[in-house]
A and B are shown apart, each in its own frame.
Chain A
Amino acid sequence: MSVDLKIVENKQMIAPPKTSASLWDWVRNNLFNNWYNTILTFVAGFIIIGIAYNVLSWVLFEAQWTVITNNYRLFMVGRYPLSELWRIWSLLTIVSFMFGLCSGSFKGTILRLSGILAGIYLIHLLAPFTASSSKVWLAVQLAGLVIGFLIALKLPYNKRIAIIGWVITIPLVFFFIHGFGILPEVRTTFWNGLLLTVLLAGVAIILSFPLGVLLALGRTSKLPAIKYFCIGYIELIRAVPLITIFLMAQVLIPLFLPTGLTIDNLLRVMLGATLFTAAYAAENVRGGLQSIPNGQYEAAKAIGLNPFQTTFFIVLPQALRAIIPTIVGQSISMFKDTSLVAIVGLLDLLGIAQSVKSNPEFLGRHMEVYIYIAFVYWVIAYSMSYSSRRIEKSLGVGER
């Protein structure tokens, strides 16, 4: 051994070959390394320049963005009463604070998400069209974010506190938006715009998850009655388009309820979205369950755990960890799919866009309105998919 080492030491050290290439080398290797790549480069370059030129000239000179800036409140909260708007702002402050707290405790992906949030606040704070009262509130949001972050850095057990904080926040959402006791009630028809979109997506994602876990457990169960019920439910729901579910929620739920009992339109849509997403969540969870090796079950049995304990303490924690990226993917598609409620007459972000562009004052401003809301959807969906990719990398699921 020592002899070998000696030989190595005695060898003349040769510098490794140069890996860093000059810009010209890079261009030659990546863009013009043979004739068809050269053609491709020119074609792609032509397309990119064409698109960029047209898009920029439209955004900067042709588009009339007053349709957005004049209706900004409509896009965000719709017809939510002006006098009660402070409730939404306070709720947002709590959420911002929680984001700050989480990013201080967990760092990583959530920290970057908070960075994006701070960026959005900052842009609106600096935008010339923002009302001065909103500017104050936006500054409060930023402060909440930063304070949350700083507190988390100093706090012991900050991760546990952050999770408990979210659990407390969820009922607060309904307290603030709907109003309860001391706060006057705001009817659901006034919950519009981005507020409704986020609320719908949040409710569907959070509620569908436990339901999906139950359905997945049912589908993998050995008891035939439960198994076939779950298979039937999952396959039936997955076969039909979401818009059919929404239409059914509109038309059939009133029919199936006992006389005299009526359910709010928004609640029906939420129910439809939750039942729909649960079927997809179930299939994702089932994928996670199947990835657990048999040895885990056998080991759990060997140390004397009953089936309930095996499922909830051994199998599910591992299965759910493995499918976090899939769940985020599912959440993104649910978030995008909330736009379908515009078809059944709810005024979510897309519904508001439809009504804004039919305002005679802003006739023919379709493109500006749609591009703006598409951009809003894009920012949220892209942040989610970005965090999913980061989580996937840190879990090592995607790397093989």
Chain B
Amino acid sequence: MSKSQQVKTPFWRDDRILPIIFQVVFVVIVVLFFGFLINNAINGLSRLGINFGFNFLRRTASFNISESLISYDASDIYGRAIIVGMLNTLRIAIIGVILATILGVLVGIGRLSKNWLVRKLSGMYIEIFRNTPLLVQIFIWYFAVILPLPQVQESFAIGNFYFNNRGIAIPWFLSNDGTLIWLVLFIVGLAGAFFTWRFQLNQQVKKGKRTFPFIWALAALLTSWLLAFLVTQSGPFNISIPELGNFNFSGGLRVSAEFLAILTGLVIYTATFIAEIVRAGIQSVNKGQTEAAQAIGLKSSTMMRLVILPQAIRIIIPPITSQYLNLTKNSSLAIAVGYQELVAVGNTTINQSGHAVEVFLIIICVYLALNLTTSLFMNIFNRKTQLVER
């Protein structure tokens, strides 16, 4: 016995040493591999006469970006151009996420409707648009739907909504002197309505008498509107109607053909995935929950709000987060129709300046940051709705 304890385990069979050797070998291989690549890159860059570094961002970009949220022209620097691209990515991502969620939830509920026709219509929409490539859909919207529309001068009009091959022009809200007061009072009214509703609901539960919480809340909201109207003596906003000028429309909200194509494509494509997630989430709630809710006499809207949705949302949030991120990443397909977002601006910058490595690093960092912040917010939201297990 004592003899066998004397015998040492050889190191190639030692559970403590083996992993260390294994990892050291792995790290050495990885470092050598990347060292080789980076060495090649340095040689290649010096042959091309490009110095690695981010100083090129201060040089004049000298290319135009047709749509920009901040002022930009060709005499601005590369850095500003990339920020413009980043803002364009954010613009399309935020608007796209909102619209896709609305459409997706509607279709997802439609898939579970008691109405056979609505169910089939939603199903058809999902199967058609989910199984064709997004890029093909974007091309269809851009080249086959929007570009063949008539010229600006002969815009196709429905009321004050104008459609032409440069995009659409629609009536839009224009802020006036009273907008700020309206906004403040509207928020106050909303908060007031919410608290009145809660208070009345509590009273109803306590006293067992109907207290009409919804009507009270509505009254609170309307009071705030009345107050706002009395104070400002005007409406909350003016409506600006697009008017045809010599070359293009002025006034109203004008959306470019490129933006419209990529937005329509993204929203319609992503909504199909969101719809399936919403459907799966609602279906995943145990049938006993529905039956129990019916047994204690909840009406279907109350049951949805208080029993089904709080449980379904837990299942829905994680996959829907990744769909939001997918939408954001897919917005880079805008490069194909010439809407200048981050990747498109980056590509132009690479073609002009040759600083490929740096630009790709910037693009990767921006997307990484976008991903991480979205995941962070969604994780916080997720934790709040998560089931507390005992």
Q: Which residues of A contact B (CB under 8 A)?
A: 30-31, 33, 37, 40-41, 44-45, 47-48, 222-226, 229, 235-236, 238-244, 247-248, 251-252, 254-259, 332, 336-340, 342-343, 350, 354, 357, 364, 366-367, 370-371, 373-374, 377-378, 381-382, 385
Contact = CB atoms under 8 A, between A and B. Distances in A.
B149 interface: no
Contacts, number: 156
Interface stretch (B94-102, B168-176, B362-370): B362-370
B159 interface: no
B44 interface: yes
B70 interface: no
Contacts of A248: 360
A224 B148 CA distance: 57
Given A40-B117, A225-B23, A378-B128, A240 B367 contact: yes
Contacts of B118: 40-41, 44
Which one of B117, B136, B144 has the greatest number of beta carbons of chain A within 10 Å? B136
A63 B367 CA distance: 41
19 contacts: A31-B117, A44-B115, A224-B23, A225-B27, A239-B370, A241-B332, A243-B343, A247-B343, A247-B347, A251-B356, A259-B40, A342-B135, A366-B143, A366-B147, A366-B148, A370-B140, A371-B144, A374-B136, A374-B140
A244 B329 CA distance: 9
Nearest to B19: A223
Contacts of B336: 342-343
A274 to B, nearest CB: 17
A247 B335 CA distance: 11
Which one of A241, A257, A370, A371 has the greatest number of beta carbons of chain B within 10 Å? A241
A363 to B, nearest CB: 11
Contacts of B343: 241, 243-244, 247
A45 B131 contact: no
Given A40-B115, A336-B134, A240 B140 contact: no
Nearest to B145: A367
Contacts of B137: 374
A237 B104 CA distance: 27
Interface of B: 19, 22-23, 26-27, 30, 37-38, 40-41, 43-45, 47, 113-118, 121, 127-128, 130-137, 139-140, 143-144, 147-148, 329-330, 332-333, 335-336, 343, 347, 350, 356-357, 360, 363-364, 367-368, 370-371
Given A251-B356, A257-B40, A259-B43, A350 B133 contact: yes
Contacts of B44: 254-256, 259
Contact of B356 (A239, A252, A364, A378): A252
Contacts of A33: 114
A254 B121 CA distance: 49
B357 A240 contact: no
A47 B133 contact: no
Contacts of A259: 40, 43-44, 47
Given A225-B26, A229-B26, A240-B368, 15 more contacts: A33-B114, A40-B115, A222-B19, A223-B19, A223-B23, A225-B23, A241-B329, A254-B44, A336-B131, A340-B333, A342-B336, A343-B135, A364-B148, A366-B148, A378-B131
A339 B131 CA distance: 13
Contacts of A381: 131-132
Contacts of A336: 131-134
Contacts of B368: 235-236, 239-240
Contacts of B364: 236, 239-240, 244
A266 B2 CA distance: 65
A40 B330 CA distance: 33
A70 B82 CA distance: 44
Contact of B332 (A244, A258, A338): A244
Nearest to A368: B144
B33 to A, nearest CB: 11
